[in-house]
Amino acid sequence: MTNPTNASVPLPEDRTDIYKLTRYGESRVGCVDADGVIYTIIRQRSAQRIGRAQAHGNGYRIFRDTRHDEKEVGNVDAHGGVFSYGLFEGGELGWLDPDGVVVQGGLILGEEEVGRVEGDMDTIAAAALLLIFLPEDAEENRKITQRE
């Protein structure tokens, strides 16, 4: 769980793809397999496990793999509402629209389309984008800015 190992990207019929919007269009950043395991795409055919989802009530709890364990970062309900346990302490971070578009927004944040998901595990994939992929990008950008 905590030792990052590269794996093959799950087959298209066995995964839900996660796309992040960038200034240049969209980029496939990860996927979720049929068991709820969340992967980041390293290369065209190579992926690395970075988290998982666990069924809970009418939704899923989302876990991020860490160096030695895992950390619960939030949850997603059956309707696609994503809630964070981090910065917003249980507040709504965003949601999944019926057409697969992922929107970041909530009480404090303005609404912004941040990506899309495609596949059967769409609510988990939307939660992974909002709870794992986007915060990691923001942290990486902060580190780059601090070095300059």
- Range of 39's domain? 6-139
The alpha carbon of 103 is separated from its chain's Cα centroid by a whole number of angstroms, namely: 12
Residue 104 identity: Q
Asked if residue 39 is part of any domain, the answer here is: yes
Verdict on whether the full-model pTM lies above 0.95: no
Angle at 50 between CA 49 and CA 55, to 5 degrees: 95
Asked if residue 146 is part of any domain, the answer here is: no
| pLDDT, mean over the chain | 89
Asked if residue 1 is part of any domain, the answer here is: no
* Range 120-123 contact pairs with CB under 8 angstroms and sequence separation of 24 or more: 120/16, 120/34, 121/15, 121/16, 121/32, 121/33, 121/34, 121/36, 121/53, 122/16, 122/80, 122/96, 123/59, 123/60, 123/76, 123/77, 123/78, 123/80, 123/96
Asked if residue 105 is part of any domain, the answer here is: yes
How many independent structural domains does the chain possess?
Answer: 1
Query: How does pLDDT run across 106-137, given as a tens digit for each residue?
Result: 766 689 999 999 999 999 999 999 999 999 88
Q: Which two tokens stand for residue 36?
A: 């709820």
Asked if residue 43 is part of any domain, the answer here is: yes
Asked if residue 145 is part of any domain, the answer here is: no
Asked if residue 148 is part of any domain, the answer here is: no
